[in-house]
Structure 1
């Protein structure tokens, strides 16, 4: 793949593209019925994928890293300021069960893919461990397993590209599913119906436009929303960093310390916990901050654009096309088990979608989807339960990797 038209170091142009394309996606979603049905999230993601694959955007840039490091952490507290805390515990228990079912789907998919391709992909035992960890937890587990099994750098790079492409493609599928008649007919959809009810009395407007109706907002609202979000991120991340530094870590530590470090040392889990505590203590203060939902959602749309950028088809087809087949098998089996058992246990379509999303893409992408679709009461539960994958992912992936290695 040749050099992209826009340089990875051209920060102003890249930031401009992210901000402008996020704005275009929101505008289209709230202006046209066809775009509302597709969703602004898909428009944001698809546009970035196309421009990457026609060699306009670079596949990697510090700008994209900054979105993950700064924009996403700020979006999370902003979007939690006005959540319905009374429903959190009820929904969390349900999401936990379907998340664990989806994790079983990852294990089953990785096992099937391993035995189907172990003779044609070198060192698949290591890749199997990496993908198991990644598709139960997230990028943290991907990196941990790559280091633990001493995986060659070029193999890690190829797996990263296959993983990113599959995650973006699956994200696209999951966002599209609520608009497919088969799923609406055969699964409960209470959160989708709630969003549609809220928009029912606004003829001529798209569902998204009705959901995001204009609100009064003052300079004080902007200052308090953004300032409080920064405060919560700083306190949470520094606190998690401190806990991570004092809790014993490494391969040989007692399991209790490993779990404790995974909980208290996780920045996103700490951020979610502290934000929920603050909202619980000062509910009226946070409810009065108009604009926090809008700011947070705009940040999430920038994140959607970034998700689509690493999905470069030329790179994966040139370097390791069979790796794409491997991760595709894992994701397909995960999806089949999640939706089949989810239906059997009477989970809603929204719960199943978010659970399998949290497995494959991590809690951040799952929360982003809940935000984009207006499923407000599921944002906190999927963030909390999805973060559990960071903890259990390493243990399950290690066991899988050691088992797979016995076949070589």
Structure 2
């Protein structure tokens, strides 16, 4: 009904869903499911019954331009002392999450027969569920997993399973928050803090912060291109923002409302992810890949939660690490920010970036190992 080029209408819908996500958190419904999950469900439903398009230029703008800005705003609370304290448990949890993905691949290979493409498919899904979409593409190219029908089917399955997995993680994170298990040691800003200072003064500082965030995003992107690693702009973005947050802590402390704006942008990201989950594309080979991917992430989640309970590993860190592995740094930071786990935003980003670095090697290694067996 709404066309991909109906930019104003789509922007309006995204912003209204962001507002709904915040407001529903304070209702009875929000006690059972986080607002981020509810708006994602609405987005999935809207796109799959044809109200909104599966893909649109507006979605690309949100992903490419606004998500980095949201991450910058969430990172402004980062303090190196806290990062060093939180980084170790998150990175340990990330190693567990990677092993959980490999366990999932082993179970999926044993449970299903994908024929001649099984080794390549296992390598591709191992890479994407340790790194992210960029690793899906890179390992697919490396292994010759490029037949258009097969590639499209695997990508559709990955998108749908990823969206559903993210909702499960957000529900689990919401349950932790409802139980009062707040993340990290950084004090979370309270709503009443936003009322400090003159309204014009707050608005001016907030505008400067958002404008600077866009500038940092652009600089990070240019640096990544200059160094020949365009897919790693988030690494430079993180380094620049964390450095600024620790060099100018007093000035940044006066920026009221930046975290809320960052969370709002990440809510928009969740909406766009929901719009892009195309259940209609799940036909033919995509259904096989759907089962394959579902087995991997279900096994992954069982192993991650099992390790958390058996070895008394911190659940917040495990969920963020699981998110960083299966979905990537942006969603890990988004989940940590949305649940107000401020001290886990930066470690989650670094874990996801580490996944980007190692996933290609692991994916190709898995494919070679299965090809030789």
Aligned to 1:251: none
Q: How do 1:44-83 and structure 2 match up within 5 A?
A: 44-83=39-78
Q: Does residue 156 of structure 2 align to residue 161 of structure 1? A: yes
Pair 1:104 & 2:96 matched: no
Contact 2:156 2:281 (C-alpha < 8 Å) held by counterparts: yes
**1:121–1:57 distance in 2 versus 1, CA, 3 Å:** farther
Is structure 2 residue 117 aligned with structure 1 residue 138?
no
Q: Which residue of 2 aligns with 1:289?
A: 255
Contact 1:129 1:400 in 2 (8 A): yes
Match of 2:321 among 341, 345, 355: 355
CA separation of 1:398 and 1:157: change in aligned 2, threshold 3 A = same
Report if the CA contact (8 A) 1:121-1:322 is conserved. Answer: no
* Two-structure CA RMSD over aligned residues (Å): 2.4
TM-score, normalised to structure 2's length? 0.91
Contact 2:104 2:295 in 1 (8 A): yes
2:274 counterpart residue number: 308
Question: Which of 15, 33, 46 is matched with 1:19 structurally?
Answer: 15
CA contact under 8 A between 2:72 and 2:237: conserved in structure 1?
yes
Deviations 1:261-304 (A, max 9, x none): 69xx7110110011111111111111111121121111111011
How do 1:180-191 and structure 2 match up within 5 A? 190-191=181-182
Please list every run of 5 or more consecutive structure 2 residues that lacks an aligned counterpart in the other structure: none
SS of match in other structure, 1:123: helix
Structure 1's unaligned 5+ residue stretches are 199-209, 245-260
Aligned: 1:147 with 2:141: yes
Q: 2:241 aligns with which of 275, 289, 292?
A: 275
Q: Which residue of 204, 226, 241 corresponds with 1:242? A: 226
Question: Residues 303-382 of structure 1 correspond to what in structure 2 (within 5 A)?
Answer: 303-317=269-283, 320-382=286-348
Question: 1:125 and 2:109 equivalent?
Answer: no
Q: Report runs of 4+ in structure 1 exceeding 6 Å deviation.
A: none
TM-score normalised by length of structure 1: 0.84
SS at match of 2:51: coil
In the TM superposition, residue 382 of structure 1 has moved relative to its aligned partner by: 0.7
8 Å Cα contact 1:110/1:330 also seen in 2: yes
Task: State the alpha-carbon separation in 2 of the partners of residues 83 and 34 from structure 1.
Answer: 31
**Shift in CA distance, 387/224, structure 1 to aligned 2, threshold 3 Å:** same
Deviation (angstroms), 1:311: 2.0
CA shift, 1:15, in A, is: 1.7
Q: Is the 8 A contact 1:211 1:374 kept in 2?
A: no
Cα distance per residue 1:85-108 (max 9 Å; x no partner):
321011111110110111011111
Cα-to-partner distance string for 1:167-199 (whole Å, 9 max, x where unaligned): 111111112124559x999xxx7426999x98x
Q: Secondary structure of 2:194's match?
A: coil
In the other structure, the counterpart of 1:203 is none
1:327-352 deviations in Å (ceiling 9; x for gaps): 01100111111111222332221111
2:282 is paired with a residue whose SS is helix
What is the distance in 2 between the residues matched to 1:164 and 1:225? 33
